[in-house]
A = this chain, B = another copy of it.
Amino acid sequence: MFLKNAWYCAGWDNDVGLGAGDLVVRRIAGRSILLYRKGNGEVVAMEDRCPHRSAPLSLGRKEGDDIRCMYHGMRFAPDGQCMEIPGMPRIPQGICVPTMPVVERNNWIWVWMGDPARADPDLICYAIGPDEPGWRLKTNHIRIETGYRQEIANLADLSHVSWVHGLTFGGSEDWSFIKPQHSMQPRGIETRYCVRNIPGPNFAKHLFPPDARFDIQVHVRLSVPCNFILSFAVHEAGDATSGPTNGKLLLDTFSSQAVTPRDEGSVDYYFSWGTSEDTYFPGIVDLMFNANAQAFLEDKRILEGQRERMLEYPDAPQVDIIHDAGPGRMLWVLDKLIEEEAREAAGVSEAA
């Protein structure tokens, strides 16, 4: 079950080039979407299916701003309208391909999968892209065979850093003793907390004296469908015991992560990580990049194992623990929005 009226990330802007062969297919929320750029550089998103006999338009040919299906030669404009049917002097009414509003922002391509009239760019989540001045960020992409609800549960609760990421981001059990307050937002949750007086994360421990202690100031903005915007600031351990850390800022890092459901059991995961220019020093972003690549494979392993067992035991009960507070809130917001859509759709059909 997917939310329709939402912006879904379709990848990094340079995934879709201007070349003749740059016809990119993405599976988004159960639909196959073709992405290409017009001559002026704007991205077009449309269903990757010719309305005639379902041939993929991504096997077609760019002709100016149009796309020609290479099965029987039907040509479609960027707004989906059929412009030409070779051999037919007139085009029957109503032949078109569904298209989707597209916005590029923070080097991501966003596609609106619901009612185009509601495609408000203000609903796109805040992020910092790799081109943002003042930041040094590297990007990556991973595919995980899991449901996006499981990804939400993974991201809305960072207690798993202690266990899943013990060899990379983790290095102490302190992450699993945090009980963060999650503030409800119209389309997600927001969470701020400080993990205090902990050893450095494993991937960077060797850069500091063995007894060095740190405060990690965390700020998470999680929004539908599953966008995870993370400020992760490393400070010298301070002496504040509540509220923000008062230790000296060592490394100001930021990670923008967009998880796009492909189908019920598969997601595309686009992410960046890096530091501010102010706290950058040579080598640090590559070190973070490598740790990140390894850590996301740690997630992939546990999430795909989880999915395997969920499919084997579809009716098994699940017990809840304290750390499910964040996942529970975020899934509640998601389900509320999905339910509202269903109710509206039912109302519309009743009225019709």
Contact = CB atoms under 8 A, between A and B. Distances in A.
Contact of A72 (B32, B56, B88, B323): B323
Give the most central of A52, A301, A319: most B CB within 10 Å.
A319
B322 A85 contact: yes
A308 B58 CA distance: 12
A163 B309 contact: no
B176 A56 contact: no
B73 A159 contact: yes
A142 interface: no
A88 B49 contact: no
A159 B86 contact: yes
B70 A164 contact: yes
Contact of A73 (B49, B54, B173, B318): B173
Interface in A173-192: 173, 176-179
Give the most central of A52, A72, A162, A323: most B CB within 10 Å.
A72
Contacts of A313: 49, 54
A92 B317 CA distance: 15
Contacts of A54: 306, 309-310, 313, 316, 318
Contact of A88 (B31, B163, B312, B321): B321
Q: By DSSP majority rule, is chain A's interface helix, strand, loop, or mixed?
A: loop
Given A173-B73, A323-B72, A51 B178 contact: no
Interface in A305-331: 305-306, 308-310, 312-313, 316-323
Interface in A21-70: 31-32, 48-49, 51-56, 58-59, 68-70
A163 B70 contact: yes
B160 A318 contact: no
A317 B164 CA distance: 46
For chain A, give the interface size range: 35 or more
Contact of A87 (B58, B68, B159): B159
A72 B85 CA distance: 58
A83 to B, nearest CB: 14
A162 B73 CA distance: 8
Given A31-B312, A52-B321, 20 more contacts: A49-B313, A49-B316, A51-B317, A52-B318, A53-B153, A54-B313, A56-B306, A68-B163, A70-B302, A71-B164, A71-B302, A72-B321, A74-B321, A85-B321, A86-B159, A86-B177, A87-B159, A87-B323, A92-B319, A95-B319
21 contacts: A48-B309, A51-B316, A51-B317, A52-B320, A54-B309, A54-B318, A55-B302, A55-B309, A72-B160, A72-B176, A72-B323, A73-B163, A74-B321, A85-B321, A86-B159, A86-B162, A86-B176, A87-B159, A87-B321, A88-B321, A95-B319
